[in-house]
Chain A
Amino acid sequence: MDFDRELRNHQMADGDLELSICPKCNAQFAKKELADRQHVCPNCGYHYRIGAYDRLRIILDADSFEELDETLHSTDPLDFPGYREKLNQMRKKTGLDDAVVMAVGTIKNIPVVVVVLDSRFSMGSMGVVVGEKITRAVEYADEQKLPLLIFSASGGARMQEGIFSLMQMAKTSSALARFSGHRGFFISILTDPTMGGVTASFASLGDIILAEPGALIGFAGARVIEQTIGQSLPEGFQRAEYLEEHGFIDAIVPRPQLRDTLAQLLLLHQPKQEAVYDSNEG
């Protein structure tokens, strides 16, 4: 509904005075300080993984946020042993119904449709709910003629939903094809991690593709590749910087600059005045 729910959860779960140790440089900081710095390590610049509501709070104008289809949840389509229990546990732990939040809001007063995957829930994996919400967001942006932002954070397909999970790749890609055909503007933002079927569908289909520094981005997982080729992987493999070097992302944008960059891009893609088209006719 709003940021408060998430905020309360966060405070109850963590406590602002507790220390956080940076997984990259081992520096220690109060969680409060880390939160004030958008969860970027003040010492080494490591970008912590953040939840969907934290992300929205950083990106959107204050009080501009309205969540859509909040309660969409999984049917457990394969009747997979233990999956319902696992879903319930994750719901309790995260306060989310699945690994995705869809919202409308504004960035510097420009209205946008935003989808954020949340890696705290089943590593952001894409099952039917994630695929469905993304597709609805694309269709909504298409109907309302709004720009679309998707923040990916996902290990890939949700195994427990099997083939239904796989088919979300076709569904989301088809919706984006239509949106693109209608000149819809889509910015895909890849955050840590963006893998598997998410990389091989909507995340790679942005008009603009941005990534956060150091984010792991790829199709096949490192373990699978190592087992297949029988050698270890080069340093920096599948990191945002590697992807940029190989031509697959437009820019790496550190989190503190992301909101400004998005606003800049949105302004550069404001629809042309109808009058301009009219004057060319007849």
Chain B
Amino acid sequence: MTRTKDNQYIALARAMDRLSVTDYIQALFTDFFEQHGDRLCREDPSILGGIARFHGMPVTVIGTRKGKNLRERIRFNFGMPNPEGYRKARRLMKQAEKFQRPIITFIDTPGAYPGIEAEARGQGEAIAKNMMKMSQLKVPIITVITGEGNSGGALGLAVADWVVMLSHSVFSVLSPEGFASILWKDASRSTEACELMKLTANDLYEAGVIDGIIEEPAGGAQANPEQMYALLDQALAYYLEELSQKPINDLLEERYEKFRKIGFALE
């Protein structure tokens, strides 16, 4: 039972027509101004970022994007960012803090790109610095996991006050294929891995890893985009309002404690 179910989540989350950050920006935000580049060496199109209005309020929006057809997918490196993407995101987040804009990140990535250049330019350092910075940013941060949220490549944009998953999305330490490959040296055992990994929204909410779930329309977000947009709009408006009202020191303390508590060890 569970096996088929968890595996179906993966298929839905990875579907080519899965709603992407560009869809959400178009539907939920106005006045979007895209910002390019990390100001160090290059632009990484795998991560889209900029300023927009949400219900009239200026916000910074950042999201990984995979692309909706093969050409786009190649251009966006299948949603696998290089270090420059994370550094661009950090630049935009620092700017959001300076101008007191809340930050909303959208996650849909197979993970950070495993490549020679990515290593040479410090993939690990780029992700680490993002998490470190996000944990202390003095503005509310919301993360929406819309498709796949795999590994440090996802977490590097997800140290947020409110982390929410769409009900058919997945969030995990690694893709099930990578997981099976590392543990059993056999990527084809990914279905079995899915079953064990606890990567669905329900499992993660129960485990206290995420803060909320937004139920997708029947057949997944892509089956009824208008309904998905309405549901997400409502949820974002509610939580942005709630987080914005908190004194900043309380917000930072709660953010710290939330991540501090995940994972329990026996004394």
- Asked if residues A225 and B115 are in contact (CB atoms below 8 Å), the reply is yes
Chain A interface residue bracket vs B? 35 or more
Answer whether A160 and B183 are a contact pair too, CB < 8 Å, given A131-B263, A174-B132.
Answer: yes
A73 to chain B, nearest CB (A): 5
Using a CB-CB cutoff of 8 Å, which residues 181-217 of chain B contact chain A? 181-183, 196-199, 204, 207, 209
B183 to chain A, nearest CB (A): 5
Answer whether A219 and B173 are a contact pair too, CB < 8 Å, given A81-B196, A163-B199.
Answer: no
In whole angstroms, what is the CA distance A73 to B264 when docked?
Answer: 9
Classify the interface of chain A: helix, strand, loop or mixed: helix
- Asked if residues A170 and B159 are in contact (CB atoms below 8 Å), the reply is yes
Most interface-central of A132, A170, A197 (chain B CB within 10 A): A170
Answer whether A200 and B266 are a contact pair too, CB < 8 Å, given A177-B132, A177-B136, A205-B132.
Answer: no
Chain B interface residue bracket vs A? 35 or more
Q: Which residues of A contact B171 (CB under 8 A)?
A: 163
B109, CB-defined interface residue at 8 Å? no
B259, CB-defined interface residue at 8 Å? yes
Q: Which residue of A lies closest to B153 (CB)?
A: A200
- Asked if residues B135 and A167 are in contact (CB atoms below 8 Å), the reply is no
A119, CB-defined interface residue at 8 Å? no
Q: Which residue of A lies closest to B180 (CB)?
A: A159
- Asked if residues A200 and B123 are in contact (CB atoms below 8 Å), the reply is yes
A61 to chain B, nearest CB (A): 28
Most interface-central of A161, A163, A220 (chain B CB within 10 A): A163
- Asked if residues A164 and B262 are in contact (CB atoms below 8 Å), the reply is yes
13 cross-chain CB contacts under 8 A? A74-B265, A74-B266, A128-B265, A132-B263, A165-B173, A170-B259, A173-B159, A199-B128, A201-B128, A203-B128, A218-B119, A237-B119, A246-B121
20 additional A-B pairs beyond A170-B158, A220-B119, beta carbons within 8 Å, are A72-B266, A128-B263, A131-B263, A162-B199, A163-B207, A164-B207, A164-B262, A166-B173, A167-B155, A174-B159, A178-B135, A181-B136, A196-B124, A199-B125, A203-B124, A204-B124, A204-B129, A219-B118, A219-B152, A238-B119
A residues bordering B, Cβ < 8 Å?
69, 71-75, 77-78, 80-81, 127-129, 131-132, 135, 157, 159-171, 173-178, 180-181, 196-197, 199-205, 218-221, 224-225, 228-229, 233-234, 237-238, 242, 246-248
